Amino acid sequence: MVVNATNRTRYSVVAMLFHWTIAVLVILNWRLAENAHHAKGAAGAALMGDHKAFGILILVLTLGRLLWRLGHPVPPLPTNYANWEKIVARTTHVIFYVLLIALPLGAWIANSLGGRSIDFFGWFTIPPLPIGQNKGLSREIFELHGTFGMILIYLVGLHILGALKHTFFDKDGGIFRMLPFGKVAGE
């Protein structure tokens, strides 16, 4: 594998670990929220508590990934990508980062407006932000949180379809850019 940042075809192993960990947690967290909405009483509250804790974990990991990215440039997009594909890829990644930060922060703000702290898997409690209470605004932010959470899931689907297209139709090994194995075009 070539180490020069301008000639690399794959992401670094650390970037791969961030990517796949965050990806799994986002899908898990979406399922937790869906299950919490269908559960009743204490079971629903427990699922939602886990959803909130995983949201904070996703926020921390996303910030870590961004910090890592500052010192470790990503490999350039393959030259076989059409201009529209490059625009879609870059735009999708920017929206991913915005949502992966805004969704947990928005939920923390909404919890704070509702006067609720966030339990982090029983290890510690994240207190409400010092912003006062406004239950109406809290509900509105949670509604936006749900809407933008679904947008994130649709974006995940688009991202997966793009990776599969590049891997199996274009045969350029697109998915292997984010895996430590497999053949990537240009290697």
Give the pLDDT band of residue 15 (cuts 50, 70, 90): very high
What's the rounded Cα separation, in Å, for the pair 95 and 111? 23
pLDDT above 80 for 45 = yes
Looking at residue 65, its pLDDT comes to: 97
pLDDT above 80 for 67 = yes
Q: Encoding tokens for residue 161?
A: 């379809």
pLDDT above 80 for 14 = yes
Note the pTM of the prediction, 2 decimals: 0.92
Looking at residue 7, its pLDDT comes to: 62
What 29-32 contacts at long range (C-beta under 8 Å, 24+ apart), as own/partner pairs, is: 29/54, 29/55, 29/58, 30/149, 30/152, 30/153
The angle subtended at Cα 111 by Cα 128 and Cα 61, nearest 5°, is: 80
What 113-121 contacts at long range (C-beta under 8 Å, 24+ apart), as own/partner pairs, is: 113/137, 113/138, 113/141, 114/138, 118/52, 118/53, 118/56, 119/49, 119/52, 119/53, 120/53, 120/56, 120/57, 121/50, 121/53
Q: What are phi and psi of 120, to 5 degrees?
A: -100, 85
pLDDT tens-digit map of 115-163:
999 999 999 999 999 999 999 999 999 999 999 999 999 999 999 999 9
